[in-house]
């Protein structure tokens, strides 16, 4: 399961950071790097219990590293997951759009 989470980080979309189970600062660094590479906005996404960590990432980026970055929009939603045996479960998700 941890492996699956970490793969998600690698196959990230343009300007998106998926927050997984690694330490907070790794995701902070990923966001800061994308801004420093010219991105005007970066989306921080997470699901389930990792939502709290996504908020930490956004707050640390804004308050400690990039005071000119703001959260432009925050969306919460419910996603439906289908497991291998076909059973479905629902999980909350967050998407925080950070922008300069």
Q: Report, in angstroms and rounded to the nearest whole number, the Rg of the chain calculated over CA atoms.
A: 14
Closer residue to a copy of itself, CB minimum distance, 21 or 49? 49
Closer residue to a copy of itself, CB minimum distance, 2 or 78? 78
Cβ of residue 75: shortest distance to a copy of itself, in angstroms?
Answer: 8
- Residue 98, SS3? strand
Closer residue to a copy of itself, CB minimum distance, 33 or 63? 63
HSE (side-chain half, CA atoms, 13 Å) at 42: 27
Cβ of residue 52: shortest distance to a copy of itself, in angstroms?
Answer: 4
Cβ of residue 69: shortest distance to a copy of itself, in angstroms?
Answer: 13
Q: By the criterion CB under 8 A, which residues form the site for a copy of itself?
A: 48-52, 55-56, 58-59, 63, 71, 74-78, 92, 94, 96
Q: How deeply is 50 buried, as exposed, middle or buried, from its count of CB atoms within 10 A (0-12, 13-18, 19+)?
A: buried
36/27 Cα distance (integer angstroms): 14
Say if strands 70-82 and 41-47 run parallel, antiparallel, or are unpaired: unpaired
Closer residue to a copy of itself, CB minimum distance, 30 or 61? 61
């Amino acid at each position: 399961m941890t492996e699956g989470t970490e793969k998600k980080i690698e196959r990230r979309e343009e300007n998106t950071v998926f927050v997984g189970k690694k330490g907070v600062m790794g995701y902070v660094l990923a966001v800061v790097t994308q801004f420093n590479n010219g991105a005007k906005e970066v989306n921080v996404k997470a699901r389930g219990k990792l939502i709290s960590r996504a908020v930490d990432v956004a707050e640390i980026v804004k308050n400690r590293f990039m005071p000119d970055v703001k959260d432009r929009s925050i969306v919460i939603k419910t996603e439906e997951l289908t497991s291998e045996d076909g059973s479905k479960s629902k999980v909350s998700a967050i998407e925080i759009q950070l922008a300069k």
